[in-house]
Protein backbone atom coordinates (compact mmCIF):
# COMPACT_ATOMS: atom_id res chain seq x y z
CA UNK A 1 0.00 0.00 0.00
CA UNK A 2 1.89 3.02 -1.28
CA UNK A 3 -0.44 5.60 0.30
CA UNK A 4 -1.51 3.74 3.44
CA UNK A 5 -3.27 6.06 5.89
CA UNK A 6 -2.76 9.21 3.81
CA UNK A 7 -5.62 11.71 3.59
CA UNK A 8 -6.28 12.93 0.06
CA UNK A 9 -8.64 15.47 -1.50
CA UNK A 10 -9.28 15.23 -5.24
CA UNK A 11 -11.14 17.91 -7.20
CA UNK A 12 -13.07 17.00 -10.32
CA UNK A 13 -13.44 13.48 -8.91
CA UNK A 14 -16.87 12.91 -10.43
CA UNK A 15 -15.55 11.58 -13.73
CA UNK A 16 -12.55 10.96 -15.95
CA UNK A 17 -9.03 11.41 -14.60
CA UNK A 18 -10.25 12.71 -11.24
CA UNK A 19 -12.51 9.74 -10.58
CA UNK A 20 -9.84 7.24 -11.56
CA UNK A 21 -7.21 9.04 -9.47
CA UNK A 22 -9.50 8.89 -6.44
CA UNK A 23 -10.10 5.18 -7.01
CA UNK A 24 -6.40 4.38 -7.51
CA UNK A 25 -5.33 6.36 -4.45
CA UNK A 26 -7.96 4.60 -2.33
CA UNK A 27 -6.79 1.23 -3.67
CA UNK A 28 -3.30 2.17 -2.42
CA UNK A 29 -4.59 2.83 1.10
CA UNK A 30 -5.49 6.53 1.05
CA UNK A 31 -8.64 7.91 2.63
CA UNK A 32 -10.08 10.05 -0.17
CA UNK A 33 -12.36 13.07 -0.19
CA UNK A 34 -13.92 12.94 -3.66
CA UNK A 35 -15.09 16.42 -4.61
CA UNK A 36 -16.83 17.82 -7.66
CA UNK A 37 -19.02 20.74 -8.61
CA UNK A 38 -21.74 18.10 -9.01
CA UNK A 39 -21.95 16.51 -5.61
CA UNK A 40 -23.90 13.52 -6.91
CA UNK A 41 -21.04 12.45 -9.17
CA UNK A 42 -18.52 12.87 -6.34
CA UNK A 43 -20.70 10.71 -4.12
CA UNK A 44 -20.94 8.10 -6.88
CA UNK A 45 -17.15 7.85 -7.06
CA UNK A 46 -16.96 7.56 -3.27
CA UNK A 47 -19.55 4.79 -3.38
CA UNK A 48 -17.49 2.91 -5.97
CA UNK A 49 -14.47 3.17 -3.69
CA UNK A 50 -16.44 1.92 -0.69
CA UNK A 51 -17.80 -1.01 -2.72
CA UNK A 52 -14.23 -1.97 -3.59
CA UNK A 53 -13.25 -1.97 0.09
CA UNK A 54 -11.73 1.52 0.29
CA UNK A 55 -12.56 4.56 2.39
CA UNK A 56 -13.94 7.72 0.79
CA UNK A 57 -16.49 10.48 1.14
CA UNK A 58 -18.15 12.52 -1.59
CA UNK A 59 -18.80 16.23 -1.30
CA UNK A 60 -19.69 19.23 -3.40
CA UNK A 61 -16.85 21.63 -4.13
CA UNK A 62 -16.88 24.57 -6.56
CA UNK A 63 -13.26 25.38 -7.42
CA UNK A 64 -14.24 28.91 -8.46
CA UNK A 65 -15.42 29.66 -4.91
CA UNK A 66 -12.94 30.36 -2.11
CA UNK A 67 -15.69 29.72 0.43
CA UNK A 68 -16.60 26.33 -1.05
CA UNK A 69 -12.95 25.25 -1.07
CA UNK A 70 -12.38 26.40 2.51
CA UNK A 71 -15.47 24.51 3.69
CA UNK A 72 -14.35 21.27 2.03
CA UNK A 73 -10.81 21.51 3.40
CA UNK A 74 -12.12 22.31 6.89
CA UNK A 75 -14.44 19.30 6.74
CA UNK A 76 -11.60 16.96 5.78
CA UNK A 77 -9.25 18.28 8.46
CA UNK A 78 -11.98 18.18 11.11
CA UNK A 79 -12.68 14.57 10.27
CA UNK A 80 -9.11 13.30 9.98
CA UNK A 81 -6.83 15.84 11.67
CA UNK A 82 -4.68 16.38 8.57
CA UNK A 83 -4.64 16.60 4.79
CA UNK A 84 -1.66 14.93 3.12
CA UNK A 85 -2.45 15.07 -0.59
CA UNK A 86 -4.30 17.62 -2.72
CA UNK A 87 -5.00 16.78 -6.36
CA UNK A 88 -6.08 19.85 -8.35
CA UNK A 89 -7.80 18.15 -11.27
CA UNK A 90 -11.01 20.07 -12.00
CA UNK A 91 -10.99 21.74 -15.40
CA UNK A 92 -12.87 22.78 -18.53
CA UNK A 93 -11.94 23.22 -22.16
CA UNK A 94 -13.39 25.86 -24.47
CA UNK A 95 -12.41 25.58 -28.13
CA UNK A 96 -11.38 28.72 -29.98
CA UNK A 97 -8.55 31.01 -30.96
CA UNK A 98 -8.20 34.60 -29.81
CA UNK A 99 -10.39 35.82 -32.67
CA UNK A 100 -13.26 33.49 -31.73
CA UNK A 101 -13.19 33.43 -27.93
CA UNK A 102 -15.30 35.85 -25.96
CA UNK A 103 -13.85 37.61 -22.97
CA UNK A 104 -16.24 35.66 -20.74
CA UNK A 105 -15.00 32.35 -22.17
CA UNK A 106 -11.38 33.38 -21.63
CA UNK A 107 -12.08 34.37 -18.03
CA UNK A 108 -13.96 31.13 -17.31
CA UNK A 109 -11.18 28.94 -18.72
CA UNK A 110 -8.47 30.62 -16.66
CA UNK A 111 -10.63 30.77 -13.55
CA UNK A 112 -11.48 27.06 -13.54
CA UNK A 113 -8.18 25.70 -14.84
CA UNK A 114 -5.58 28.02 -13.33
CA UNK A 115 -6.91 30.27 -10.59
CA UNK A 116 -8.55 27.28 -8.94
CA UNK A 117 -5.12 25.71 -8.45
CA UNK A 118 -4.03 28.86 -6.63
CA UNK A 119 -7.22 28.90 -4.54
CA UNK A 120 -7.05 25.25 -3.50
CA UNK A 121 -3.31 25.28 -2.80
CA UNK A 122 -3.70 28.40 -0.69
CA UNK A 123 -6.50 26.74 1.26
CA UNK A 124 -4.35 23.73 2.25
CA UNK A 125 -0.97 25.44 2.56
CA UNK A 126 -1.20 26.43 6.22
CA UNK A 127 -2.43 22.99 7.25
CA UNK A 128 0.40 21.26 5.38
CA UNK A 129 2.94 23.60 6.96
CA UNK A 130 1.57 22.92 10.43
CA UNK A 131 1.61 19.14 10.02
CA UNK A 132 5.16 19.07 8.65
CA UNK A 133 4.56 18.69 4.93
CA UNK A 134 2.28 17.45 2.20
CA UNK A 135 1.89 16.88 -1.51
CA UNK A 136 0.10 19.11 -4.02
CA UNK A 137 -0.50 17.62 -7.47
CA UNK A 138 -1.93 19.47 -10.46
CA UNK A 139 -3.42 18.32 -13.74
CA UNK A 140 -1.68 20.32 -16.45
CA UNK A 141 -1.49 19.16 -20.10
CA UNK A 142 0.82 18.80 -23.04
CA UNK A 143 -1.17 21.86 -24.16
CA UNK A 144 0.74 23.75 -21.48
CA UNK A 145 4.01 22.83 -23.20
CA UNK A 146 3.16 22.94 -26.89
CA UNK A 147 0.46 24.95 -28.67
CA UNK A 148 -2.71 23.38 -30.08
CA UNK A 149 -4.60 25.15 -32.89
CA UNK A 150 -7.83 26.92 -31.89
CA UNK A 151 -7.28 26.25 -28.19
CA UNK A 152 -5.74 29.51 -26.98
CA UNK A 153 -7.39 29.84 -23.57
CA UNK A 154 -6.93 26.18 -22.63
CA UNK A 155 -3.27 26.15 -23.65
CA UNK A 156 -2.62 29.38 -21.77
CA UNK A 157 -4.34 28.10 -18.63
CA UNK A 158 -2.33 24.87 -18.63
CA UNK A 159 0.96 26.68 -19.30
CA UNK A 160 0.11 28.71 -16.21
CA UNK A 161 -0.44 25.51 -14.21
CA UNK A 162 3.02 24.27 -15.20
CA UNK A 163 4.70 27.49 -14.06
CA UNK A 164 2.59 27.80 -10.90
CA UNK A 165 3.61 24.24 -10.03
CA UNK A 166 7.27 25.20 -10.26
CA UNK A 167 6.77 28.37 -8.22
CA UNK A 168 4.91 26.54 -5.47
CA UNK A 169 7.54 23.79 -5.40
CA UNK A 170 10.26 26.34 -4.71
CA UNK A 171 8.17 28.16 -2.10
CA UNK A 172 7.08 24.96 -0.38
CA UNK A 173 10.37 23.10 -0.26
CA UNK A 174 11.41 24.45 3.13
CA UNK A 175 8.09 23.32 4.61
CA UNK A 176 8.39 19.86 2.98
CA UNK A 177 5.48 20.58 0.67
CA UNK A 178 6.16 18.83 -2.63
CA UNK A 179 4.36 20.18 -5.71
CA UNK A 180 4.27 18.48 -9.11
CA UNK A 181 2.01 18.34 -12.15
CA UNK A 182 1.17 15.76 -14.78
CA UNK A 183 0.89 16.75 -18.45
CA UNK A 184 -1.40 14.26 -20.21
CA UNK A 185 -1.80 13.86 -23.93
CA UNK A 186 -5.28 13.18 -25.33
CA UNK A 187 -7.07 11.00 -22.75
CA UNK A 188 -10.48 9.32 -23.07
CA UNK A 189 -12.54 11.48 -20.71
CA UNK A 190 -15.84 13.38 -20.94
CA UNK A 191 -13.79 16.55 -21.46
CA UNK A 192 -11.99 15.24 -24.53
CA UNK A 193 -15.25 13.81 -25.86
CA UNK A 194 -16.68 17.31 -25.62
CA UNK A 195 -13.64 18.68 -27.42
CA UNK A 196 -14.12 16.21 -30.27
CA UNK A 197 -17.84 17.01 -30.39
CA UNK A 198 -17.00 20.68 -31.01
CA UNK A 199 -14.97 19.82 -34.11
CA UNK A 200 -16.49 19.90 -37.63
CA UNK A 201 -15.99 16.12 -37.97
CA UNK A 202 -15.81 14.56 -34.48
CA UNK A 203 -14.88 11.04 -35.61
CA UNK A 204 -12.15 12.32 -37.91
CA UNK A 205 -10.83 14.45 -35.05
CA UNK A 206 -10.74 11.40 -32.76
CA UNK A 207 -8.87 9.29 -35.33
CA UNK A 208 -6.42 12.09 -35.99
CA UNK A 209 -5.77 12.55 -32.26
CA UNK A 210 -5.13 8.84 -31.74
CA UNK A 211 -2.77 8.72 -34.71
CA UNK A 212 -0.78 11.68 -33.35
CA UNK A 213 0.45 9.50 -30.47
CA UNK A 214 3.39 7.27 -31.47
CA UNK A 215 2.09 4.54 -29.15
CA UNK A 216 -1.01 4.42 -31.35
CA UNK A 217 -3.88 5.15 -28.98
CA UNK A 218 -5.51 7.78 -26.82
CA UNK A 219 -4.62 7.69 -23.16
CA UNK A 220 -6.76 6.06 -20.49
CA UNK A 221 -7.57 7.71 -17.16
CA UNK A 222 -5.57 4.95 -15.45
CA UNK A 223 -2.42 6.09 -17.28
CA UNK A 224 -2.66 9.48 -15.58
CA UNK A 225 -3.96 8.22 -12.23
CA UNK A 226 -0.97 5.91 -11.87
CA UNK A 227 1.36 8.87 -12.43
CA UNK A 228 -0.42 10.78 -9.67
CA UNK A 229 -0.13 7.81 -7.30
CA UNK A 230 3.62 7.69 -7.92
CA UNK A 231 4.06 11.43 -7.34
CA UNK A 232 1.99 11.26 -4.14
CA UNK A 233 3.98 8.33 -2.75
CA UNK A 234 7.25 8.24 -0.84
CA UNK A 235 8.83 6.80 -3.99
CA UNK A 236 8.79 10.38 -5.27
CA UNK A 237 10.16 11.91 -2.08
CA UNK A 238 12.94 13.68 -4.04
CA UNK A 239 10.66 14.87 -6.85
CA UNK A 240 9.26 18.39 -6.76
CA UNK A 241 8.66 21.09 -9.34
CA UNK A 242 8.39 18.64 -12.20
CA UNK A 243 5.92 18.54 -15.09
CA UNK A 244 5.64 14.81 -15.77
CA UNK A 245 4.61 14.22 -19.38
CA UNK A 246 2.36 11.17 -19.86
CA UNK A 247 1.35 11.38 -23.50
CA UNK A 248 2.10 8.22 -25.47
CA UNK A 249 5.05 10.02 -27.06
CA UNK A 250 2.92 12.81 -28.55
CA UNK A 251 5.28 15.74 -28.03
CA UNK A 252 8.41 13.71 -28.77
CA UNK A 253 7.83 13.84 -32.52
CA UNK A 254 5.82 12.44 -35.35
CA UNK A 255 4.66 8.83 -35.08
CA UNK A 256 6.38 6.21 -37.26
CA UNK A 257 5.12 5.96 -40.83
Catalytic residue annotation: 154
**DSSP code, position 236:** G
Task: Please tell me the distance from the alpha carbon of residue 66 to that of residue 62, in angstroms, as a whole number.
Answer: 8
Transcribe 156-170 into DSSP letters. HHHHHHHHHHHHHHH
Task: Please tell me the distance from the alpha carbon of residue 55 to that of residue 240, in angstroms, as a whole number.
Answer: 27
Question: Which residues 6+ apart lie within 8 Å of 68 measured at CB?
Answer: 60, 61, 62
Task: Please tell me the distance from the alpha carbon of residue 202 to that of residue 231, in angstroms, as a whole number.
Answer: 34
Instruction: Check: CB of residue 2 under 8 Å from CB of residue 32.
Output: no
Exposure class string for 221-238: b at 16+ Cβ within 10 A, else e: bebbbbbbbebbbeebee
Amino acid sequence: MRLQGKIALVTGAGSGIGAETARRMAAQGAIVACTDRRGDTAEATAAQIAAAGGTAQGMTLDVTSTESIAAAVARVVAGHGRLDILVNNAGVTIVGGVAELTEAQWDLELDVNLKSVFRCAKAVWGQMQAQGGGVILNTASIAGITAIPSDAAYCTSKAGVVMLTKCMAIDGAGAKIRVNCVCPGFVETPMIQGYFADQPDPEAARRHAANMHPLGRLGRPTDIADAFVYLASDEASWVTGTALVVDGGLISGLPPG
